[in-house]
Amino acid sequence: MRTIKFGQTDWQVPAVAVGCMRINRLNSSEAQKFIKTALDSGANFFDHADIYGRGACEEIFAAAASELGVARAKLILQSKCGIVPGQRFDFSKEHILASVDGSLRRLRTDYLDVLLLHRPDALVEPEEVAAAFDQLTASGKVRHFGVSNQNPGQMRLLQKFVKQPLQANQLQLSITNATMISAGTHVNMLVDAAVDRDGGILDFCRLHDITVQPWSPFQHGFFKGVFLDNAEFPALNQKLNELAEKYNVTNTTITLAWLLRHPADLQPVTGTMNPARLRDCIKAADIRLTRPEWYEIYLAAGHTLP
């Protein structure tokens, strides 16, 4: 597996992160097969969140990894906190500390390699976040920190108080959901594509060496479904299939290769629980699309150039 530099660290991590949001759909043997497939392919960066399966996903992952006899040192474990489902977002010190303790217990580990704050809390008091991060650092419970779904202003506000560098930002990004890319090609234009909806978060992260982790890389809209083999996207699928045939891979592989071709060194997070499809995702790290091919996919998805 090709690796990338993680944030401002000297740490090399797999170019593709393995998402575990749906691992609670698997039985014990299936979960073991899923984890083994990832590890055998060099994909040992696993993404979790305290709310996935209301905690069950972390428990199932830990049980399966234990049955496989996987050493903790062989795993890179990332989890997220800050969402109380259906009620609120919560970046209070009390909630962050309690959430981490819960994840550590469910994952059967003494530490998280990475903790991300999940969704921006409108009532965030950055001093409390800083206090929580300091305590987690001092106790050794968390090694690196980051955020998810945050814009540059929100990150700057946190970083004013938080001593630890924010190493990652997990954001929705796919071929069809690419406003953070398309806005940059329509600067100063009187068209909808020119609207800056995220404060230039992609360039901000590149400027500050923050790893962008695209989530839902196969989804269109907000969980409306995948665009692969979807009749709503005929031109896009025709182009993806054409390139899949050229490179002797699947359209799944080409889709992730499109993200990995971006010079920001993106680290997409997979969502599949299918071992074969997971292998297809991981293969994308070995393919480098040409510049013309990248733009052909971009235009086939309905994006425009001014």
Question: Which run of H or E residues covers position 182?
Answer: helix 179-185
Q: What is the DSSP letter of 193?
A: G
- Reported in sequence order, the residue ranges of 71-134 that DSSP labels E, i.e. its strands, are 76-81, 83-84, 88-89, 112-117
Q: Which residues pair with 46 in a beta bridge?
A: 18, 77
- CA 66 to chain CA mean position, Å: 24
- The Cα–Cα gap between 189 and 195 comes to 9
Distance, in Å, from the CA atom of 216 to the CA atom of 255, rounded to the nearest integer, reads 12
Q: What's the chain's length in residues?
A: 306
Nearest to 70 by CA among 35, 46, 42, 102: 35
Paired residues of 84 in beta bridges: 88
Of 100, 82, 99, nearest in space to 91 by CA? 82
Are the C-beta atoms of residues 16 and 268 closer than 8 Å to each other? Answer: yes
Whether 111 is catalytic = no
The span from the CA of 80 to the CA of 82, in Å, is 7
State how beta strands 12-14 and 3-5 pair: antiparallel
- Catalytic, out of 52, 111, 295, 298: 52
Rounded to 5 degrees, φ, ψ at 115 are -120, 125
In terms of Cβ atoms closer than 10 Å to its own Cβ (0-12, 13-18, 19+), residue 100 is: buried
Catalytic residue list: 52
